Structure 1
Amino acid sequence: MKPMIKWTAMALAVCLPLSAQAHRAWMLPSATVLSGEDPWITVDAAVSNDLFYFEHFPLRLQGIGQLDQAPAGGPPGMRPRPAAQLQVIAPDGSQVQPENGSIGRYRSTFDVHLTEKGTYKLAIANSGLVARWKENGETRRWMGNPDAFAKEVPAKAEDLQVSQNSSRMEVFATSGAPTKTVLEPTGKGLELSPVTHPNDLYAGEAAEFVFLLDGKPAADVEISVIPGGNRYRDDLGEINAKTDAQGKVSITWPDAGMYWLEAELTSDKGVSKPATERRASYSATLEVLPQ
């Protein structure tokens, strides 16, 4: 029996290696630094080749739009599948419900009402096992949880490779003065622990970030930073960096605008059977303001 490939848009992006990832999953806020008495942000969520351009398919989020059916005219073979769990965390640490959600052909959209002063975090976390093997000369792929692995992946599959994957996608937005409550790490997977506040970034200035793996400094993490709008330029404009022994990295922003940051780490440490390697990734959309 041929196994069904179980992917969400987020899971698909997680499983692609950073160097070859043509499709990138992202959230794009209308603004990240706000003032006034009644601020809102609108957030687009999508998977695309170009940043931040809608041309592939929407990032499907629980509670956003009609998730019981695939978008009309979607990619061939696209079927209803589990959606990613979005968390919106207020400055006091409480959960906030996104509003006015909808899902379209190329993007999902929702609003967040910033009723408190301080920094909000929008986060999507995903984890599971990814398996690849040969069957009748063809490559088969599967993703799911450890309980389903034994039932759905052949025990003696040819050339079986199993990896333990985790990912996190984040956006930060601040009403008034920045706060730090939502910046506290969860201690799970690869996370950003900012030295420079993510809503205090300026063109021409260096920002310092620390990356943690399960709450501990993550050394030698590959970092890729790409400014949005690459559809309209010949040069991707990618900035490459790597964390030091303390998990720290410094990035100098060449221009103002929206940037997509991705960090990726592959290791054989902290791996649980049946996996033989661990792959952790982190991504964020960051707004860099002019001086």
Structure 2
Amino acid sequence: MKKTIALLTLAAALAAPMAAQAHRAWLAPTATTLSGADAWVGFDAGMSNQVFNPDHAAMRLNGLTITAPDGSAVQPEHAMQGQYRSTFDVHLTQNGTYKIANVMGGVVAGYKLNGEQKRWRGTAAEYPAALPQGATDVQATRTASRIETFVTLNNPTDTVFKTTGEGLELVPVTHPNDLVAGEAATFKLLNNGQPASGLDVTVARGGIRYRDNPEESTVTTGADGAFTVTWPEAGMYWLNASVRTEGQGAALGSNTSYVAVVEVLP
């Protein structure tokens, strides 16, 4: 199994044009902890060279799900897709923690037809029946990505952290809306419901436009999938990990990624 992680260093930034580097996906709230009988939170979602700095493309929100503290689904409001970012609002009416996630998946296949190289993309349910008759040299990969963040109205709760057993998922040990600069926080990563051990996780703080130091670090999960981060400063942080496995014969390969955006308070 090949385990990979998106890691941008200052040396790489100097050695290669920004356009040549992998674009980073993020889903960022305007606030993560609120109080009162109800509250509104705005969200930006984009793909960019620097996290939280919309400069490449808006994120498509076809897989957007918003889960309330009681497990019910909440609809986004005032949604709009611009050139570089998508935006929407969420009305918080229940006490507790909400999960906002954009979950996408499918199958990507390369094959030859009449001597020409072709490419197909679709759902797992459509594969392989959707491939044309006569397709040869088929190489297929199942893809799964989860990009999420969390916001809390009044007291934090943990009902939204129930996992699905599909792809990479985060299980908080420390609540993601209770993060403080200078303190350690622990999380666990699961891959298809099992501990994701030995996996590198990139931690990047936003606001790189206003400083020279990229302020990125990499931590590695233990045997139980757990990793710990001590936040050096307050701010919005981007956490990213991925796992890639090669296909064997008729068995599909897999390419799974996870992104969380969390806010660290002073």
TM-score bin (small chain): 0.7 to 0.9
SS of the residue corresponding to residue 236 of structure 1 reads: coil
Show the 5 A alignment for 1:15-164.
Answer: 18-19=6-7, 22-61=22-61, 84-132=62-110, 141-146=119-124, 147-152=126-131, 155-157=135-137, 161-164=139-142
CA contact (8 A) 1:164 1:275 kept: no
Aligned residue pair count: 249
SS of the residue corresponding to residue 212 of structure 1 reads: strand
SS of the residue corresponding to residue 186 of structure 1 reads: coil
Find the partner of 1:224 among 202, 205, 229: 202
Relative to the length of structure 2, the TM-score reads 0.84
SS of the residue corresponding to residue 18 of structure 1 reads: coil
CA distance in 1, matches of 2:53, 2:177: 22
SS of the residue corresponding to residue 151 of structure 1 reads: coil
SS of the residue corresponding to residue 231 of structure 1 reads: helix
- State the Cα distance separating 1:139 from its structure 2 match: 7.3
CA distance in 1, matches of 2:5, 2:201: 12
RMSD between aligned residues: 2.6
Where does the alignment leave 5 or more consecutive residues of structure 2 unmatched?
Answer: 9-20
Partner of 2:170: 192
Partner of 1:266: 244
The reply to whether residue 288 of structure 1 matches residue 264 of structure 2 is: yes
SS of the residue corresponding to residue 54 of structure 1 reads: coil
CA distance in 1, matches of 2:117, 2:216: 32
CA contact (8 A) 2:109 2:140 kept: yes
CA contact (8 A) 1:222 1:265 kept: no
Mark the CA change 1:239 to 1:155 in structure 2 (over 3 Å): closer, same or farther.
Answer: same
- State the Cα distance separating 1:181 from its structure 2 match: 0.2
**Which has the larger displacement, 35-44 or 115-124?**
35-44
Q: Which amino acid is 1:151 matched to?
A: A
Q: Which amino acid is 2:108 matched to?
A: V
Percent identity over paired residues: 49
Q: Which amino acid is 1:277 matched to?
A: G
**Which has the larger displacement, 130-139 or 26-35?**
130-139
CA distance in 2, matches of 1:240, 1:234: 19
- State the Cα distance separating 1:132 from its structure 2 match: 4.3
Show the 5 A alignment for 1:192-271.
Answer: 192-267=170-245
Partner of 2:254: 278
SS of the residue corresponding to residue 130 of structure 2 reads: helix
CA contact (8 A) 2:33 2:177 kept: yes
CA contact (8 A) 2:146 2:257 kept: yes
CA distance in 2, matches of 1:253, 1:263: 18
Q: Which amino acid is 2:261 matched to?
A: T
Where does the alignment leave 5 or more consecutive residues of structure 1 unmatched?
Answer: 1-15, 62-83
CA distance in 2, matches of 1:19, 1:228: 14
SS of the residue corresponding to residue 94 of structure 2 reads: coil
CA contact (8 A) 1:164 1:272 kept: no
1:84-135 deviation per Cα after TM superposition (whole angstroms, max 9, x unaligned)? 2211100000001111111112111111011011000001111122234689
CA distance in 2, matches of 1:168, 1:250: 20
Partner of 1:73: none
- State the Cα distance separating 1:286 from its structure 2 match: 0.5
Q: Which has the higher contact order (CA 8 A, sep 6+)?
A: 2
Mark the CA change 1:176 to 1:258 in structure 2 (over 3 Å): closer, same or farther.
Answer: same
CA distance in 1, matches of 2:74, 2:248: 34
CA distance in 2, matches of 1:265, 1:229: 27
1:173-209 deviation per Cα after TM superposition (whole angstroms, max 9, x unaligned)? 0010100000111222110000000101111111100
- State the Cα distance separating 1:266 from its structure 2 match: 2.4
CA distance in 2, matches of 1:188, 1:44: 25
Mark the CA change 1:256 to 1:141 in structure 2 (over 3 Å): closer, same or farther.
Answer: farther
Mark the CA change 1:284 to 1:138 in structure 2 (over 3 Å): closer, same or farther.
Answer: farther
CA distance in 1, matches of 2:171, 2:120: 32
